[in-house]
Amino acid sequence: MAVGIFDSGLGGLTVLDAAQTRLPDVDFLYFGDSAHAPYGVRDADDVYNLTRAAVQHLWDRGCDLVILACNTASAAALRRMQEEGLPDGKRVLGVFVPLIEALTERQWGDNSPPREVAVKHVALFATPATVASRAFQRELAFRAIGVDVEAQACGGVVDAIEEGDSILAEALVRSHVDALKRKMPEPQAAILGCTHYPLMQDAFKKALGSEVKVFSQAELVAESLADYLGRHPNMLGSGQAGFLTTGDAARVSDRATQLLRRQITFEAA
């Protein structure tokens, strides 16, 4: 029995790693669409179509519950998929809500009206597609009022991470943080709004300074998933654990092994 985890590439491995730590008795089937990565520079319809096809593949493999461990997919595809209707017994969850619940200090599933929160100035670092969607601001408005969000599109960071070029990725992070600070000199909190970015969390923290609280998604999503499965144990499905990719399986396996520092073997999807 496995829960599906989908990402455009390797960034979702940060969510997978945290979920396996939090839920050691749950199996996971990971799907990385590396052949079409990165999603962050694609238009909304393209992201939707690619995400829909990947989720369908995981459903076909027996995963009743699929986590979109990709902010771009969550921003551009999740609401549309839910509005168009999901098959009976199938669910798709995104990664924005657990992050916003933590930022606004709400309990999991708290659907009370929006209210004032302590943090007033928030920096959002995300892919160009996620920034353009304004999905983070929309979801935040359901839960909090009076919060100023300054978004910075971080072009190139995902590509550098996927290519294993940490020097370039760090340089890009510093550049994007500098650009954000020109617009919002003193953010109180920073959101790493891409599941690739936790791999560069130290670089973000160094560039932002110790006074800025950095919110990363992996552990928050894992905790939210644990809560969801506690309430819906029937959503474990019948799928088998493993790793699937639309890219070069050997190359993706090597990169994943480097990122997680343990042997990861992908198969062709």
In this chain, the answer to whether the domains covering 2-94+218-268 and 97-215 adopt an identical fold is: yes
Tell me the CATH number of domain 97-215, given options 3.40.50.2300, 3.10.20.30, 3.40.50.1860, 3.40.50.300: 3.40.50.1860
Q: For 14-72, write each residue's pLDDT tens digit.
A: 999 999 999 999 999 999 999 999 999 899 999 999 999 999 999 999 999 999 999 99
Whether residue 1 is predicted with pLDDT greater than 80 in this model: the reply is no
- Mean pLDDT for 257-265 is 94
pTM of the model: 0.90
Q: What is the mean pLDDT of residues 186-200?
A: 94
Contacts (Cβ under 8 Å, ≥6 apart) of 24: none
> Residue 96 pLDDT > 70, yes or no?
yes
pLDDT of 107 strictly over 80: no
- Percentage of the chain beyond pLDDT 70 is 99
Q: Where are the domains of the chain?
A: 2-94+218-268, 97-215
| Topology of domain 2-94+218-268, CATH | Rossmann fold (3.40.50)
R_g (Cα) of the chain, nearest Å: 17
**Paired residues of 67 in beta bridges:** 5, 93
Q: Alpha-carbon dihedral of residues 185, 187, 191, 193, nearest 10 degrees?
A: -30
Q: Is 205's pLDDT higher than 80?
A: yes
With vertex at residue 242, the alpha carbon angle to CA 239 and CA 246, rounded to the nearest 5 degrees, is 105
Sign of the alpha-carbon dihedral angle for 123, 11, 255, 51:
negative
Residues 168-191 have pLDDT tens digits of: 999 999 999 999 999 999 999 999
Residues 212-228 have pLDDT tens digits of: 999 988 999 999 999 99
Q: Strand, helix or coil at 248?
A: coil
pLDDT digits (tens, 9 = 90+) for 111-126: 789 999 999 999 999 9
Q: Which band of pLDDT confidence, cut at 50, 70 and 90, is reported for residue 83? A: very high
DSSP conformation letters of 76-125:
IIIHHHHHH---TT-EEE-SHHHHHHHHTTPPTT--PPPEE-S--EEEEE
Alpha-carbon torsion, ordered 41, 45, 50, 52, to 10 deg: 140
Tell me if residue 151 falls in helix, strand or coil: strand
Question: Looking at the predicted structure, is the pLDDT value of residue 108 above 70?
Answer: no
- Position 210 scores a pLDDT of 95
How many contiguous H segments (helices) and E segments (strands) does the chain have?
12, 12
What pLDDT score does 89 carry? 94
pLDDT tens digits for 115-163? 999 999 999 999 999 999 999 999 899 899 999 999 999 999 999 998 8
* Residue whose C-alpha is closest to residue 214's, from 222, 203, 223, 224: 203
Which amino acid, residue 61?
Answer: R
Residues belonging to the active site = 70, 194
Question: For residues 109 and 163, which has the higher predicted lDDT (pLDDT)?
Answer: 163
Res 238 pLDDT > 90: no
